[in-house]
C-alpha cells in the first residue's frame, strides 16, 4: 500500500524545483520511477526492461498512461510486464526530453 509514497514524493519534489531544466526534471523522474526495471543508463538493458533511450512522446504516453503501444509500433519485447503509471502523465514531456537528449 505504501509503495506509491516514495515515487509520489520524489515526483512532487522534482516538480517543485522550478530551476530545473526539462532534461534535469526528466532525469529525476526517470531515476525515481524507471530504474527499478530499466537500467540507470537508458541506452542499456535493465533488469526487466529494455533500453528506452530515444522513446518517443507517443510511446511514453501509450505505455505510461494506458500500458499499450502507439499504432504501428513494434515492441522490443513480447512481454506485458510493465504496469501503467498514470500519475506520471504530467511529467511525460520532461521524461521525453531526458530520453532523447543523451
Specify the pTM: 0.79
Instruction: Give me the average pLDDT of each 10-residue run along the chain (102 residues).
Output: 64 67 96 96 95 96 95 88 95 98 75
Q: Which domain holds residue 7?
A: 2-101
Burial 43-57 (b: 16+ CB within 10 A, else e): eeebeebbbbbebee
* CA 10 – CA 50 distance, rounded (Å): 23
Split into its structural domains, the chain has a count of: 1
Q: What pLDDT is stored for residue 48 in this prediction? A: 93
User: How far apart are alpha carbons 30 and 32 in whole angstroms?
Assistant: 6
Q: What one-character DSSP code corresponds to residue 46?
A: -
The dihedrals phi and psi of 35, each to the nearest 5 degrees, come to: -75, -10
- With cell 512532487, the residue in question is 12
CA distance 10 to 81: 23
Amino acid at each position: 500500500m505504501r509503495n506509491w509514497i516514495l515515487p509520489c514524493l520524489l515526483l512532487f519534489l522534482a516538480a517543485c524545483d522550478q530551476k530545473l531544466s526539462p532534461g534535469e526534471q526528466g532525469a529525476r523522474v526517470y531515476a525515481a520511477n524507471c530504474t527499478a526495471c530499466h537500467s540507470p543508463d537508458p541506452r542499456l538493458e535493465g533488469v526487466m526492461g529494455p533500453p528506452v533511450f530515444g522513446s518517443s512522446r507517443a510511446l511514453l504516453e501509450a505505455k505510461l498512461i494506458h500500458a499499450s503501444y502507439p499504432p504501428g509500433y513494434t515492441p522490443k519485447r513480447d512481454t506485458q510486464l510493465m504496469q501503467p503509471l498514470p500519475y506520471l502523465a504530467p511529467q511525460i514531456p520532461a521524461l521525453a526530453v531526458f530520453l532523447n537528449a543523451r
